[in-house]
Chain A
Amino acid sequence: MAESVVLTTEKRDTRGTRTARKLRAAGRVPGVVYGHKEETVSVSVGADDLLSAVRHGARVVDLQSENDLQKAQIAELQWDHLGIEVLHVDFRRVAADERIHVTIPVEIKGIAPGVSAGGVLDQPIHTLAIECLAVNVPDSIRVNINELQLGSAIHVRDLQLPPDVTALVDPDAIVVHVTSPQAEPEAGAIPGGEQAEPEVIGRKAAVEEGEEEK
């Protein structure tokens, strides 16, 4: 579980693209705090503090404003097109005893014997949606693959979740499995690449109609 992170917020009264850009240039990220049927408040937080918290796996943070301290979940982050800077952040107010829905990463630990036997490790699920207490959000779900043989899989139902944590995805979904390596297609043997030119939709019908008219 990540330690509680305190982010200092400043209330912002101005809105719009221009002021948001000025804020970002000054090293702050525009954001919004909402939830619990209270007033929606536009705020800004320090970009470095926010990025540091996110990279260390913080899901629920303490927002320190001028008057009070409130607990909030980082609900959404908007990134720039290259994924380098955070453009905007959404905070959702939560109570300490409230159960929330969060997405946490799935970490794979160990070396699968199936990989040593020539298989390929495939992980269809990288993040897991869970329901847990706001104060007890796990950093990640660790999956031990030390006994994963070629052709076998670990499903969501096999995961060892911490107490009070429930998975919100299909229990039969595959988290990680070891598959046989795909035969490398030779150049020119790509599926769908056998034909010299694509079929044109409607052309064949038009040609046939033309022949009937003749």
Chain B
Amino acid sequence: MPLMPKRVKFRKTQRGKVRGNALRGNTVSHGDFGLQSLEGGWLSAEAIEAGRITATHSVRGEGRLYIRVFPHKSVTSIPAETRMGKGKGEPEFWAAVIKPGMILYEIGGLPEAAARDALARVAYKMPFRCRFVARRPTVG
């Protein structure tokens, strides 16, 4: 079963809009390399799981994979051929709200070529354009 919260205060959430760029969660902080989203949208828990499976198969037990996003948002839908009204639909899946610039996955303990290959495979599973990034140079 894909990721979802253990406890929530409300089962259903409003849809909202993905506005602006990522001002947090846009740096590689745990591993050495990361996969950065270039577009905004919803990343379903199934897509996160698909990326995780792809990355773990690709690295074959070497290195460490970090998933930087979590599906906090429930997305509801009403069944087909249902008449109008009768309230909001039931939660269908859980999704993470992604803004441009967010780091989705990180990989550590692998050489760059292997990390690039693994994250390129993960990028195929993502519903938006992504790019491979390394750590930013440190100052201060």
Contacts and interface: CB of A to CB of B under 8 A. Distances in A.
Contact of B138 (A79, A127, A193, A195): A127
A7 interface: no
Contact of B38 (A82, A120, A121): A82
Tell me if B's interface is mostly helix, strand, loop or mixed: loop
A198 B21 contact: no
Contact of B140 (A74, A118, A181, A196): A74
Interface stretch (A99-107, A151-159, A205-213): A99-107
Contacts of A73: 140
Residue among B4, B10, B138 with most chain A CB within 10 A: B138
Interface residues of A, number: 42
Interface residues of B, number: 39
A57 B140 CA distance: 11
Contacts of B32: 123, 126
B7 A81 contact: no
Contact of A82 (B26, B64, B91, B139): B26
A192 interface: yes
A83 B2 CA distance: 30
B64 A190 contact: no
Secondary structure of the A contact surface, majority rule: loop
Interface of B: 1-11, 21-23, 26-27, 32, 36, 38, 49, 53, 56, 61-64, 91, 99-101, 108-109, 133, 135-140
Given A76-B139, A77-B139, 16 more contacts: A54-B137, A55-B137, A59-B139, A73-B140, A74-B140, A75-B139, A77-B140, A79-B136, A81-B21, A103-B140, A121-B108, A123-B108, A126-B135, A187-B49, A193-B3, A198-B8
Interface of A: 54-55, 57, 59, 73-77, 79, 81-83, 102-105, 115, 118, 120-123, 126-127, 181-182, 184, 187-188, 190, 192-202
